[in-house]
Chain A
Amino acid sequence: MPKLIKRDADGQFAAAEDAFIDIREEDGVPAAIPGNGPVILSLARFQEEGDALLSGGRQVGVRIASNEAIEDLAYDLPRLALVALEFPKYRDGRAYTSARLLRERFGYTGEIRAVGDVLREQAGFMVRCGIDAFEVSDGSSPEEWAAATHRYRHVYQRAADSRAPAWKERA
């Protein structure tokens, strides 16, 4: 079971309970959606069944594959409980762009969760792009994520976080 770590508005990292069930295909067959608890759906599944689930009062999150366009979710963002961005391999950096667009272009303020090959070495990049929940795959702890995020006293460019880039520090 992957561990979930969340970063709160004050920048503190803590282990979190995961109330969501991630509904995945198994052997090409979509899994059944159980009970009435919070779920995470693929984009395609959400486009088919999202309305019904939401109007039933269910909390719904959407999982975006790295080759899917975050723009396709733009109008639905206000009613989503979270957006999960997939890192099929840590080397696949497309989700960083998706995260930044969610925060900066679409003004999304809900949870953005990194899922897949999520390693603490990527902590700094993920946080800077606006990701605030991490389904870690390397067994790392909230303390290690906090340390990795704070390793650099300075950053050089603006991103989706609130850190002042070097040029602002200098001004």
Chain B
Amino acid sequence: MKALTANRLLDGEVVFWNEGRWVEQFSDAQLFDDADPAGEEAVATGKSQPTVIVEPYLIDLTETEAGPVPVSYRERIRALGPTNHPTHGKQAEANAVNAAIAHAEGAARSTGRLDLIRRK
């Protein structure tokens, strides 16, 4: 399972792709099967929107009891907000998916991880 993420150009907000629009909550993100070409197509669409978002990439998801959550803790922190300020970022919105992300453990490295120097 994968989801498409990026940062919004105007304010840097973490956003996720859903059927042609960018949404702010992971719980609203469109999910792609690993083999589904729609994921890469969405990346291409994202790359054609350089005045809307910056550096779109797919992230790996893992199944939990409460549904799919990002595999890597880096992406979980992006999906929620900083752990030292529990009211800052997306985690301020209480929903079941956010709760699942917050409790996810046993991370593996996401293939969606970027070249970090480039990312800066």
Touch between chains A and B, by CB atoms below 8 Å? no
Chain B interface residues toward A at CB < 8 A: none
